[in-house]
Amino acid sequence: LALVLCVMASAPLLAQVETFLMDKPHSQVTFRIRHVVSMVEGRFNDFDAKLWLDRANPSKSKVEFTIQAGSITTNHENRDKHLRSADFFDTEKYPAITFVSTKIEPKGTDTYDVTGDFTMRGVKKILKFPVRHGGFARVGKSDKTGFDLALRLNRKDFNINWNRAIDQGGWLLGDDVDILIGIEANKEKPAETPAEQPAERPTAPAPSPGG
């Protein structure tokens, strides 16, 4: 009886957690970094996110995010090839950039402080940053949610150290990288249960010749 009551009590809590899968066409990961006296922008084309959201108790929510480092593009083929090399992301050795949340703290009606393990180029660090929640919406038969965030990382914290001195003094590249991430996600739909097939009726044996 105690076991049954325990299961019944926990069932509503489990039901509160909803899984959302990233909607790729409506999501983006972009960045910018100083180049001499201006800014260069780029993006990653291959990335994915999965969210487990508890609307009643957001602190119990969780997010996992993965970027394929080799998908970096700055609309310049030679520069992109250099960025994939060991001078920068070393994508053959470290193909993925990952983030796994460990703590989510509500900070208002639509803002959360998210803490988690961020790994890039083999270096893992604990990051904490604010995230804005765009809310929930239903479009057709799809339940949607969305988040966006902006953060600044020092690339040297992740052993991305390459640079070059310029003639007038100073360096070709800045150390700080500004990152913008926007995620739209759709609620995962439960797997459809295959329709039960009617049982086959037994076939009557064929009559014997002359029977």
Chain segment 74-132, per-residue pLDDT in tens: 999 999 999 999 999 999 999 999 999 999 999 988 999 999 999 999 999 999 999 99
- The bridge status of strand 123-139 relative to strand 96-106 is unpaired
Query: Is there a contact between 81 and 60 (Cβ–Cβ < 8 Å)?
Result: no
Query: Is there a contact between 24 and 162 (Cβ–Cβ < 8 Å)?
Result: no
159: left (phi over 0), alpha (psi -120 to 50) or beta: left
Q: What is the pLDDT of residue 11?
A: 45
Q: How far apart are CA 27 and CA 183, in angstroms?
A: 5
From 123, 128, 115, select the one nearest 97 (Cα to Cα). 123
**pTM above 0.85?**
no
Q: How far apart are CA 10 and CA 21, in angstroms?
A: 25
Q: What is the pLDDT of residue 44?
A: 99
Amino acid occupying residue 138: R
Query: Is there a contact between 71 and 45 (Cβ–Cβ < 8 Å)?
Result: yes
Q: How far apart are CA 52 and CA 89, in angstroms?
A: 29
Q: How far apart are CA 45 and CA 29, in angstroms?
A: 8
15-187, which class in CATH? mainly beta
First to last CA, the chain: 63
Q: What is the pLDDT of residue 204?
A: 60
Q: What is the pLDDT of residue 153?
A: 99
Query: Is there a contact between 142 and 187 (Cβ–Cβ < 8 Å)?
Result: yes
**Over the chain (211 residues), what is each successive 10-residue block's mean pLDDT?**
44 72 98 98 99 96 99 98 99 99 95 99 98 97 97 98 94 98 95 62 60 50
Helix (H, G, I), strand (E, B) or coil at 26: helix
Helix (H, G, I), strand (E, B) or coil at 14: helix
Q: How many helices (H) and strands (E) does the chain have?
A: 2, 11
Query: Is there a contact between 101 and 126 (Cβ–Cβ < 8 Å)?
Result: no
Q: What is the pLDDT of residue 191?
A: 72
Encoded tokens for 147: 């988040």
Q: What is the pLDDT of residue 196?
A: 60
Domain ranges in the chain?
A: 15-187
Q: What is the pLDDT of residue 26?
A: 98
From 139, 210, 179, select the one nearest 29 (Cα to Cα). 179
